[in-house]
Amino acid sequence: MLNISGEAPLVTLRNAGIQRGGRWLVRGVELELRKGEIVTLIGPNGSGKSTTAKMAIGVLKPDEGSVERLRDFTVGYVPQKLAVDWTMPLSVERLMTLTVKLSKREVDAALDAVGIAHLARAQVQNLSGGEFQRALLARAMARKPDLLVLDEPVQGVDFAGEIALYDLISDIRRKTGCGILLISHDLHVVMAETDTVVCLNGHVCCRGTPDIVSQSPEYQRLFGVAAARTLAVYNHRHDHTHLPDGRVQHQDGSITDNCHPGDGHHHDHDHGEKHHHQHHGEGTASTALNGGRHDG
Ligand SMILES: Nc1ncnc2c1ncn2[C@@H]1O[C@H](COP(=O)(O)OP(=O)(O)OP(=O)(O)O)[C@@H](O)[C@H]1O
């Protein structure tokens, strides 16, 4: 179906399901994703998120329902696990060209776009969790995808790194206009920039904007009231940027080692709770503890 802008979806799932060994892994999935949109799949372990993503990109054929894709579009896929023998030395630039042929210039540009150009010759085993996820993103982006599928992009990444990665994903959407299918079992943070959250539990439990899902009774029934309170909406306002080296560049152009409430760069909202790393631009964990969205 066309939307108001007249653009057809890159991918449409209608009542799609996968069955294995007489059991439905996931069933009744309805999903549309257009260029420039971010759809986030959330749900507990084993709820069918990866299976749904694999149907969306055509790796798995649905056993019921249908999956339609626009013809001739390119997918960039960052899998949850990578089948690589980690005992073998592997540099970041080699990782980039394992399965795709890229010139040195293309490799450098892709690494630069995710802020790790300086790590081209580093060994993959030595990367931090956040650097490794950036390397995988660079590898997927080098294909210039129309659809980017990210399976758990913040795994092994700490809280500040998570925010920096979500910033980067937003930038990628803005700069390239690709569609993004994001998978997360991290219920703590869902990007506010997500257009649609689809909450799975073997079927679609609820869907909508992050705000709507966080308040939905189905979501609260599935995860319990306490867990429901931890669905924080990462409210992206871009009043500062997390630089690849961990420092923070503020809107006034100044750079500091950290971002602290009260450093004069932010409109502070100190609620006296855990994780008060939060301030203007990072509605995250204290939003969670407050059980709702926190706007300015
Ligand atoms: N080929 C298969 N054969 C049988 N069962 C499978 C197969 N692939 C996946 N499953 C099962 O299907 C269910 C859904 O798996 P899936 O990987 O889609 O879940 P997920 O929501 O992505 O989970 P996680 O958050 O743990 O990554 C799981 O119970 C999994 O064990």
pLDDT tens digits along 169-228: 888 999 999 999 999 866 556 667 788 999 898 999 889 888 788 778 887 777 766 555
Give the closest residue (by CA) to ligand 1 atom 11. 25
Residue to substitute in 20, 24, 25 for testing ligand 1 pocket (most ligand atoms within 8 angstroms of CB): 25
Q: How remote is the CA of residue 41 from the centroid of ligand 1, in Å?
A: 14
Contact 261 CB / ligand 1 (< 6 Å): no
Q: How remote is the CA of residue 277 from the centroid of ligand 1, in Å?
A: 34
User: pLDDT tens across 250-272, in order?
Assistant: 667 777 776 554 455 544 333 32
**pLDDT on residue 251:** 65
Taking the C-alpha atoms of residue 88 and residue 191, their distance in angstroms, rounded to an integer, is: 36
Q: Which residues have CB under 8 Å from 49's CB, separation 6+?
A: 41, 42, 43, 151, 183, 184, 185, 200
In the structure encoding, which two tokens stand for residue 78, read together? 């960052």
Work out the average pLDDT over 30-50: 92
Domain edges within the chain: 76-144, 241-291
Q: Average model confidence (pLDDT) for the chain?
A: 77
Give the closest residue (by CA) to ligand 1 atom 13. 46
Handedness of CA 48, 49, 50, 51 (dihedral sign): positive
